Structure 1
Amino acid sequence: MFYTKNFDDNMEIIPYMPVMSFISICPSFNAEDANVYIRSSDNVLFGLHAANIEVVTGGFPFDSSYSTVPGVPDVPEPAALLEKLFAYFYPDFPDIEFADFPTFQDLLNFAESAARYHIRPARGISKEFLRRYLLSYPREILAFAAKHSYHSLVREIAGTELMNTSLAEIKELLRNDYFYGVWSEHKDRRTSAVMQAQACSLHVHSGMSCTTWSSLKSDILLQLNRPSVLESHWDISQLFAPHKASAKHDCCFSALAEWEEVVADIATNLPTFAL
C-alpha cells in the first residue's frame, strides 16, 4: 500500500508503513480482522470494526482529515477513556460500572466523548451516572446537558437549588436561547408563586394578641424566600413541620397548618418545567 506526497511539484511515492510498526496497540482492541484503526492522544492504537461502529453510532463519527498517520483518525481522548468508550461497540465486553470513574471529571470526560461520537449506549449510561452528581455538580451538568440537548437532565436540574441562581449565570451555563427562555419563564412563575405564598401569612392567623405568632411567621418567611422551595410537597412539609411541633398555642398551630395547606396547593398548581 502506498500514499503520495508532493514536494515542490515533484510527486514522491512513499511506501505506506504499517501503523502497527510504530504505535503501541491496545490489547483489548487488537482483533486480526479489525478494519478501522483509531489512535488515542497518548499514541495507543485501537483496532475496531466499521460495521459495529455504524450500527452503534448510525454512521462513522471519526475524522481522519488531519491525522498524523494517513487513514488513522487521531482523537483527543487518552487510551484509558477510549477503552471504556469503545467497549460499547461490542456486546461481549463487560458492562461499565459507576465505580470505573474515580472522579466526577472522569465521568464527565467520558460523557462528553460519548456525546461527541454519538455512541448511543454510552450516552445512556453516562447520563444515568451523571444523575448521581446532580446535587454536587449541578452547574457542570447543566452546561453539559444543554450543550448536547439532554432534555431530561435539564428538567431534573431545574428542580434543584440551582433554580435560585441568577439568570445571568444560568444564561452563561445554558448558552442556548430556547433552554434559557424556558428556564427564565419557569423561574418567574416560581418567584410569583413564592410571593403569593408569603402573602398568605397576613390572614391565616386571626389572634391579634398572640405573642408567638410574629416570631413563627418571620422564621417561615425567611425560608419561604426562594423559587426552589415550591418544587415538592416534601420540601414544604419539611419547612413547616418543626415550627408546628414547637408551636406553643393552638392558634399558631392551626395557622401554620392552614398556611402549609395553601402553600402546598399553590405548588401543586404550578406548571412543571417542560422542554
Structure 2
Amino acid sequence: MADINEVKVVRTSDIFNAADADVVIRSSDNLEFRLHKRNLEFTSGAFPPAETPVHSNETIQLTESAATLEILFQFVYPRQFPSLERLDFDSVMLLAEAGQKYEIFGLMNACQFQLRKFKHKHPDRILEFAAQHNHGDLVTQLVPILLHMPLTKLVKILPSHMYIPWSLYRESWLVQVMKSAAVLVPSHDCFPKEKTSAWSFFRKNLHDEIISDYLDILPGDSWDKLAAKYAHRQCCTSVIKAWRAELERIRDSMPPIELPSS
C-alpha cells in the first residue's frame, strides 16, 4: 500500500524551463512548464493564465497530460511547429480537444488537418468532435463515409444548420439507390426468365438485404450477407458486384455537400 505521506515527484519540462518565466503550469502527471504569459496572450484565445494575474511563484494545475501539453505549448512560441504525423488517433484527439479548450489556433488547424487521415477508421468520433466545434470543412469530409448513418442518430450529433443539408443530401443519394435498383439488376445467365420463381427469389433477396436495409449499403454489411447466399453462382455474384460498383460510382460522383458556417 502506498504511503499516504509520499510526496509526488514534480519534474520540469526540458523544453519549457525559462528562467524568466512568469507562468508555471503543471500537467496532470506532474510535469511543470515554465512559460511566458505574453506568448499565451498573443497565441491563445482562452488560456486561463493569459486572462488572470499570475505571480511567478504561482502554479496553474491543468487536467491534460505532459505528453499533450508538451506539444500544445510548442504552438504558442514563434518557432517551427512540431509534426503530428507519427501520433496515433487518440493522441491527436486529445490534442484537438486541448487546442479547442484553450483556443490555440495554430494547433486547432493542425489537428483538423491530421484528423482527416483517420476519417475512414474513426468517422463517428471525428464527426462528433467536428460537429461540437462547428468545423464544417471536417464534417464535409465525412459525409460520403457516413451517408448510411440513421437520421435518428445523426440528429443527436449535428446542429440543425448541418443536420438539414446532410439529411437532404442523404435523401438525394437514396433516390439514386432506388433508381439503380430498377435498372441495374437485369435477368442473367442462371435466371434467364425474369418471371421464373428462381429469378423472383433472387430479386426478393436483393430487395430484402439491400433495398430494405439501405442504411448498410456503404459499409458493406448487407452486400456481404447477400453475396454469401449466392457465392456458388458466379453470374449472381457478378450482378451484385456490378450494382455495388455502380452505387459507389454514384456516391463518388455526387457534388460535395454545402454546409453553412452557422
TM-score (norm 2): 0.67
What is the aligned partner in structure 2 of residue 15 from structure 1? none
SS in structure 1 of the partner of residue 61 of structure 2: coil
For structure 2, list consecutive stretches of 5 or more residues without a partner in the other structure. 1-8, 219-233
Percent identity, please.
27
Q: Which of the pair has the greater relative contact order for Cα pairs under 8 Å at 6+ separation?
A: 2
- State which of 121, 125, 140 in structure 1 corresponds to 2:125: 140
Secondary structure at the aligned position of 1:45 is classed as: strand
Q: What are the equivalent positions in structure 2 for 1:6-155 lying under 5 Å apart?
A: 24-57=11-44, 59-62=45-48, 72-92=59-79, 95-101=82-88, 104-155=89-140
Greater mean deviation of Cα atoms: 259-268 or 75-84: 259-268
Q: CA deviation at 1:56?
A: 2.4
CA offset at residue 91 of structure 1? Answer: 3.9
Counterparts of 2:254 and 2:197 in 1: how far apart (Å)? 34
- Choose which of 203, 209, 214 in structure 2 pairs with 1:226: 214
User: Higher Cα Rg: structure 1 or 2?
Assistant: 1
Measure how far apart 1:154 and its partner are. Answer: 0.9
Q: Distance in 2 between matches of 1:220 and 1:274?
A: 33
Q: What per-residue deviation string (whole Å, max 9, x for no partner) do you get for residues 218-243 of structure 1? A: 7876557636868xxxxxxxxxxxxx
Change (3 A) 1:265 1:97: closer
Q: Secondary structure at 1:95's aligned position in 2? A: coil
Matched, 1:191 2:174: yes
Residue in structure 2 matched with residue 12 of structure 1 by the alignment? none
TM-score of the pair, normalised by structure 1: 0.65
Conservation of the 8 A alpha-carbon contact between 1:52 and 1:89: yes
Equivalent pair of 1:40/1:74 in contact (CA under 8 Å) = yes
Number of aligned residue pairs: give it.
Answer: 235
For 2:154, the equivalent position in structure 1 comes to: 170
Structure 1 173/214 Cα, relative in aligned 2: closer, same or farther at 3 Å?
same
Mapped partners of 2:197, 2:35: distance in 1: 76
CA distance in 2: counterparts of 1:29 and 1:89, whole angstroms? 11
Q: Does 1:156 align with 2:141?
A: yes
Question: Aligned with 2:60: secondary structure?
Answer: coil
Choose the corresponding residue for 1:274, options 253, 258, 261.
Answer: 258
Assess if the C-alpha contact under 8 Å between 1:146 and 1:154 holds in 2. yes
RMSD: 4.3
- Alignment of 1:180 with 2:166, yes or no, is no
* CA deviation map 1:94-114 (0-9, x unaligned): 62332244xx22221111101
CA spacing shift, 1:264–1:94, aligned 2, 3 Å: closer
**Structure 1 residue 49 displacement after superposition:** 2.1
Q: CA deviation at 1:196?
A: 2.2
C-alpha distance in structure 1 between counterparts of 2:16 and 2:115, whole Å: 27
Partner of 1:10: none
Asked if the contact 1:53/1:60 (under 8 Å) is kept, the reply is no
Cα distance in 2 for partners of 1:105, 1:262 equals 35
In the superposition, relative to structure 1, how do residues 217 and 91 fare at CA in structure 2: closer, same or farther (>3 Å)?
A: farther
What displacement does 1:186 show? 2.0
Which amino acid in structure 2 is aligned with residue 99 of structure 1?
R
* Gap runs ≥5 in structure 1: 1-21, 231-245
Given that 2:75 and 2:107 are in contact with CA atoms closer than 8 Å, whether structure 1 keeps it comes out as yes
Distance in 2 separating the partners of 1:39 and 1:31:
14
Give the letter for the 2:152 counterpart: A
Deviation at 1:167, TM superposition (A): 1.5
Find the aligned partners of 2:92 and 2:182 in 1 and give their Cα distance. 44
- Deviation of 1:211 (Å): 11
